[in-house]
Amino acid sequence: MLDTVQFKKNEWQNRNRIRTAKGWQWLTVPVLQHFGQRIDEVLMNPTVTWKAQHLRALDMHYARAPYRNRYLAQLGEIYSAPWNKLSDLNKATVQWLLEAFGITTPVHHASDYAARGEPTDRLIDLCQVVGATEYLAGPGAEHYMDKPRFESSGVRLDIQVFQHPIYRQVYEPFEPNLSALDLLLMQGPDALTTLRQTRPMNHSMTSV
């Protein structure tokens, strides 16, 4: 998890989308954020009540989800902890989702390492320190990634070509780009299979 980059307001670091009868809505974690702060430095806003609101929204909109009882109780336990830093909550929810999906890939956090330098050098350093031989970047990375540096470092640079899976939701029509929780509440143990069925071949940018 690249938690040492700058926090960006109104993006995905402190909010995500859930399905509703009218389409979708944001669930946002209120934060005390200052310009230039890294993600791992951002604190939650203790004066705003949000945990109960999130859980009520999930309980209402996913009342007919097949796996609602199994997973919302677990999420409630995570929410009940006295979180202070946004990154700590994010780490806990990501780890919980990985376990719920049955994904066993080890997770490392950039804040645990001393990688420095330009963005490309920092990514290469992080790959090397954890023993990774391949870096999978999101769409658009080919416009700013330094391909020669990856090639000379021995780390393969691939671009993920994501194809969104289509699955049954609590409401129709299908709404893409929601929280992973949406898929989990609907498909439970089969959620990972759904993701893998739409996994395409990634596009390599290097000859490593």
Taken as a whole, the chain contains a residue count of 208
pLDDT of residue 160: 85
CB 22 within 8 A of CB 39: no
**What is the residue extent of each domain of the chain?**
15-106+163-196, 113-160
Q: Using CA atoms, how far apart are residues 145 and 148, in angstroms rounded to an integer?
A: 9
Largest Cα–Cα distance of the chain, in whole Å? Answer: 53
Q: Using CA atoms, how far apart are residues 122 and 110, in angstroms rounded to an integer?
A: 9
Confidence of residue 204 (pLDDT cuts 50, 70, 90): low
pLDDT, mean of residues 9-16: 94
CA proximity to 132, closest of 99, 97, 156: 156
Stated pTM of the model: 0.90
pLDDT of residue 187: 98
Which range (50-59, 125-134, 156-165, 188-197) has the least confidence?
156-165
Q: Which residue has the higher pLDDT, 196 or 71?
A: 71
Residue 194, CB-side half-sphere exposure with 13 Å CA sphere: 17
Confidence of residue 184 (pLDDT cuts 50, 70, 90): very high
Question: What is the secondary structure of 125-154 as a DSSP string?
Answer: HHHHHTT-SEEEEPTTGGGT--HHHHHHHT
Q: Using CA atoms, how far apart are residues 189 and 192, in angstroms rounded to an integer?
A: 7
- pLDDT(200) > 80: no
Q: Using CA atoms, how far apart are residues 188 and 72, in angstroms rounded to an integer?
A: 12
Confidence of residue 145 (pLDDT cuts 50, 70, 90): confident
Q: pLDDT above 70 covers what percent of the chain?
A: 95
Q: Using CA atoms, how far apart are residues 90 and 85, in angstroms rounded to an integer?
A: 9
Confidence of residue 208 (pLDDT cuts 50, 70, 90): low
Confidence of residue 205 (pLDDT cuts 50, 70, 90): low
- pLDDT(201) > 70: no
Helix ranges restricted to H, 10-130? 51-61, 68-79, 86-101, 119-129
